[in-house]
Amino acid sequence: MRAKNMIGRAVGNLSLILATMLGCSSEPGQEGPEPRHPFGTHAGYWSEGVIFPSNPSRAELDEAVGAFYREWKRRYFVSGCAAGQAYIKAQTSSGAWIVSEGQGYGMLVAALMAGYEPDAKSMFDQLYRYYVAHPSVINGNLMSWAQDGSCKNIDSLGSASATDGDVDAAYGLLLADAQWGSDGEIDYLGEARRIMGAILASEVQPANTVLFGDWVTDSSHPNWDATRSSDFITAEFKAFAEAAGEARWNAVVDKAYAMVEYLQAVFAPQTGLLPDFIVDVSGAAPRPAPPNYLEGENDGRYSYNACRTPWRLATDFLVSGDARSRAAIRQLNAWVRDATGGDPQAITSGYDLDGTALNSDVEAGFIAPFMVAAMVEPESGTNQPWLDALWDEVASRPAEEYYSDSVKLLCMLVTSGNWWTP
């Protein structure tokens, strides 16, 4: 039986008290069934080697999350396109106004904020209705990747899927089932299983490597032998294995960690940094992608995709105690803490795998994932001052743009103890 950290577990009316303090109404029955895991419950983390920010109280951590959530919702949650639908306004530089990644993020946030956000279930359902209303042209059980301001697919690639959005959407549905049950208009558990099956069928190689999307159709495709490190969403894959009764998900986890271990040892022994994209994944020697492999000159560096890996991998240790996650994160922690001299503002927006900064930009989307990683204690000493500094920096930064703000909010949810496994 897994050891769990129950420190700070809230009971009774805590979520209602918090909502009142922070300016939200949470009256029972306002939007249907009350959530079974309301925001502020703080339960389900591994008991050994996990720390939380120490300067604020747990209630103050939640208050900071709630404050930023309200700003995030105001900026990015949009009801529209069709009756009963909503989307997360991404408005990316590529011309996409809406992306499946954002829908996945939004579904996670809505399910996790239930008990603070009185309309969480309605928001979740609207986001999911948009998801299913925009199916991929390749596997209709997945979402097409990108739409414009008129909710139309932006191009042929935008009509196919992107794996991370589908993974988060499926996990969001598992959270929704755990929060509200599946007896209502949407069978959350049934829909989650449908998407999980489609991900395995169309977004995972037979050798269990995660693909970019269902548009990488078979071994003749030029991107078949490649993957994206930020798609190693191992904590969610483990939940899929249990919910679907499908052991293959555990093989997907094993393959991801084998690549992480090899890449850190061979290409980033001093830093532990992972590249945005990885090639030659079918063999025993995966390597960083060359420049301009898929998106740009930084494809083989720690850039706007890989910046999420400290958050994704650390979350697995926080909820499962996986030693592979801890080893990978400890290496990242040791490097970034030393390289920055303990100053979060010295974390820049991208690095070569040897730790050379690519620029001097400072963005929450690069800082916040290291905050989650800092929750994993090192073998000796403590990350506490580093974690406290990271929280103070992340929580005090003003809103930036969709991507950084969404990553920041999800990382704040994890760091405050408000992530959980369904």
Per-position DSSP letters for 40-73, written without gaps between them: T----B-SSSB---SSS-HHHHHHHHHHHHHHHH
* Contact by Cβ (8 Å): 135, 142: yes
Q: Which amino acid is present at 252?
A: V
Longest distance between any two alpha carbons in the chain, whole Å: 57
Question: Which parts of the chain register pLDDT below 70?
Answer: 1-31, 156-157
Instruction: Name the DSSP class of 361.
Output: -
pLDDT number for residue 91: 86
d(CA 412, CA 159): 32
Convert the pLDDT of each residue in 333-384 to its tens digit: 999 999 999 999 999 999 999 999 999 999 999 999 999 999 999 998 899 9
In this structure, the number of other CB atoms found within 10 A of the CB of residue 12 comes to 7
3-state secondary structure of 209: coil
d(CA 412, CA 371): 8
Rounded to 10 deg, the angle between the 309-320 and 323-340 helix axes is 130
Tokens for 259?
């690549």
d(CA 300, CA 228): 10
d(CA 227, CA 213): 10
Please provide the distance, in angstroms rounded to a whole number, between the alpha carbons at the two ends of the chain. 16
Residue 113 neighbours by CB under 8 Å, 6+ apart = 39, 69, 120
Tokens for 77?
């949650």
- pTM value surpassing 0.85: yes
Please state the length of the chain: 422
**Which residue in the block uniquely carries the two structure tokens 């949009």?**
78
In this structure, the number of other CB atoms found within 10 A of the CB of residue 302 comes to 28
Classify the C-alpha dihedral 313-212-368-414 as positive or negative: negative
Tokens for 405?
């703000």
Would you name the residues annotated as active-site residues? 101, 164
Instruction: Name the DSSP class of 302.
Output: B
pLDDT number for residue 93: 73
pLDDT number for residue 98: 96
pLDDT number for residue 400: 97
In which order are the strands placed within the sheet that holds 277-279? Answer: 226-228, 277-279, 287-288
Q: Which amino acid is present at 350?
A: G
* Contact by Cβ (8 Å): 143, 101: no
Tokens for 286?
């995966």
Convert the pLDDT of each residue in 71-81 to its tens digit: 999 999 999 99
CATH of domain 14-415: 1.50.10.10
Tokens for 398?
């003003």
Strand locations in 211-254, DSSP E?
A: 226-228
